[in-house]
Structure 1
Amino acid sequence: MILSDDQLDRYARHIVLKEIGGEGQKKLLGARVVVIGAGGIGAAAIPYLAAAGIGAMAIIDDDRIELANLQRQPIFGTGDIGALKAETAKRRVAALNPDVAVEAIVARIGADNAPGLIAGADAVIDGSDNFATRLAVSDACTAARVPLVSAAIGQFQAQIGTFRGWTAEAPCYRCYVGDAFDAEDCDTCSELGVLGAMAGLAGCFAALEAVRAITGFGEDQTGRMHIFDGLKPAMRTIRIVKDPACRTCGTAR
């Protein structure tokens, strides 16, 4: 791939970074990222992925935009209320960067369709809002050997981690949360509240980790969960170990 003059100008600030450079930018332009959920996390991750020059992006979401979403989903505006999130996000990406081939998938992802929806991805960002979806996505990513960046928010806290459960030492997301969860176990933003900027922080961090997974810059963050406390503010990092009994990636299966 040869970068055009316009691309050299658009991505100049990436290219001058020795950790990314022209070769790293070419990797981004040749990559496909699947974003699950165009809510608070996706609404922040999507524009930064598009601006970074991710060559192909799939946005999976079956919800419509509501007034209450706008406090933490600034990719949408008041005039978008009632429209489909995935379709609206697709239009925003197209306006931001014509280099990105973006696909809007209006569907709810689950165990039955996750393998097909993530097929061909170089990285997946999961910003969904329940454990049933997250576990289905994790299982599919592990089986397909696709790096999974999982991001979650609640009130004043954000959690971001990268998982490669198919490797010998690395955990999958199921190693982190176990099996005993379904959609009813999740507290929602509508019940507990969330600071809008926390969604932006988590989404941008998730985009950063997807770019890291594609280009390989910096230190590998596989198996590390970064937890940001917006009240203090402070961040701590915990290391997640592979669960030998994990039914998805464990060695004792």
Structure 2
Amino acid sequence: MSAPLPPLVAPGPPLTAGQVARYARHLALAEVGEAGQRRLLAARVLVLGAGGLGSPVLLYLAAAGVGTLGVLDDDVVEASNLQRQVVHGTADVGRRKVDSAAAAVRALDPATDVRTHDVRLAPHNARDLLSGYDVVVDGTDNFATRYLVNDVCAELGLPWVWGSLQRGHAQVSTFWSAPPTGDGVDLRDVFGAPPPDGSVPSCAVDGVLGAVCAAAGAAMALEVVKLVCGTGRTLLGRVAVHDAFAGTWQDVPVRRRTPGPSAAAAADRPARATPSAAPGDAADDAGELVRLLETRGGDVDVVDLRDAVEAAGAPLPGARHVPFARFVDEATLAELDPERPLVLLCRAGARSAHAAALARAAGVRDVRHVPGGAAAWARLTAAHGS
């Protein structure tokens, strides 16, 4: 077990009698204690997105005593949000999410300093918005924002906690390009360059189990507490992968593969340029996959990541079936041949994109995934004559 990182935040003023009573269960923990609680009360945390992930993060960080909570979202509450976005209620439909979330946080703890940002994070404002906080929590649902957060946090020297959801699956990690001790890791070390727009379906298309948001959001809130207090083992250098339907959490190590930000780059621009994609970094188009099949043929390892029910309903000739939950197990990843081309596919492309990133992190040199999932693979193999 790696040593904990040093505390991110200095302790605030001594606790009042009311705070001692409120946080008594934290004070009883050696891992938090009085000093840790004072650090939490002095901490400034920005939560990006008041949705499925942001909801439990905001509630648990407010309950934990984080003194300043920023919430950024430019959306309004819709009825379809209520299945998983528990910081909002029926009466909030049509209300700005930042206002609804702020009201819920203040109802939980009126002493919390809630700062609302009813804007969309963009290159022109990201640096100013993020620089006022000690740690950033990203609960957004699009790749452009995630990569922007990654690069701005790298230049500002900030740690950030990331979560991602799809169907009954979740992934959580902590990224910090240049931590005070140990090796830094960022989003590009896991996923390389961003996938093409539209290649990975949204939750609106592919669905998401509401309670998975609670599991992932709680894990993200725990990461913030550990970072602020300097206690326990964070997920820096690891990705926690949750399969709700299988009832499993898998731990996948991540290694540095991108250069850290330079001081000159930090001074010149809000986010470093996207590096050229390495082989297999982004979702491959059909033409590249056809050429791979034509040149390597039976040497290509094609893996169907769908659940057993999905695979039974529409088997895919030429692919071996390894459900996503089993594929992301560390033992399964360790068994992959690093020199053998690997092609991954699922129902629509979300699970295969995540699995491809983990396979690359495990050392497989040539990893590709099929953005359109099973239907795209069927069309591709039919055209190829497989």
User: Do the two structures share a fold, i.e. TM-score over 0.5?
Assistant: yes
Q: Distance in 2 between matches of 1:133 and 1:150?
A: 11
4+ residue runs over 6 A deviation: none
Q: Distance in 2 between matches of 1:182 and 1:93?
A: 36
Name the TM-score, length of structure 1 as normaliser. 0.94
1:19-68 deviation line (CA, Å, top 9, x unaligned):
10000000000000000000100011101000111010110000000000
2:91 to 79, 96, 119: 79
2:28 to 16, 25, 42: 16
CA contact (8 A) 1:160 1:225 kept: yes
State how 1:59-74 maps to structure 2 within 5 Å. 59-74=71-86
Q: Note if 1:45 corresponds to 2:54.
A: no
How far has the Cα of 1:186 moved from its partner?
A: 3.5
1:130/1:246 CA distance change after superposition, 3 Å: farther
The corresponding residue for 1:89 is: 101
Name the TM-score, length of structure 2 as normaliser. 0.62
Aligned length in residues: 249
CA contact (8 A) 1:141 1:147 kept: yes
Residue 49 of structure 1 aligns to which amino acid in structure 2?
Answer: L
What is the percentage of aligned positions where both structures have the same residue? Answer: 37
The corresponding residue for 1:231 is: 245
CA contact (8 A) 1:39 1:127 kept: yes
Residue 56 of structure 1 aligns to which amino acid in structure 2?
Answer: T
Which residues of structure 2 form unaligned runs of 5+?
1-12, 262-271, 274-386
2:224 to 210, 217, 222: 210
The corresponding residue for 2:377 is: none
How far has the Cα of 1:183 moved from its partner?
A: 4.8
Identify the range of structure 1 (23-32 vs 238-247) with the bigger mean alpha-carbon deviation. 238-247
Q: Distance in 2 between matches of 1:23 and 1:246?
A: 32
The corresponding residue for 1:109 is: 121
State how 1:1-253 maps to structure 2 within 5 Å. 1-167=13-179, 169-181=183-195, 183-244=197-258
SS at match of 2:53: helix
CA contact (8 A) 2:147 2:194 kept: no
How far has the Cα of 1:166 moved from its partner?
A: 2.1
1:129-180 deviation line (CA, Å, top 9, x unaligned):
0110000001111111111100111100010000111247221112211123
Q: Which has the higher contact order (CA 8 A, sep 6+)?
A: 1
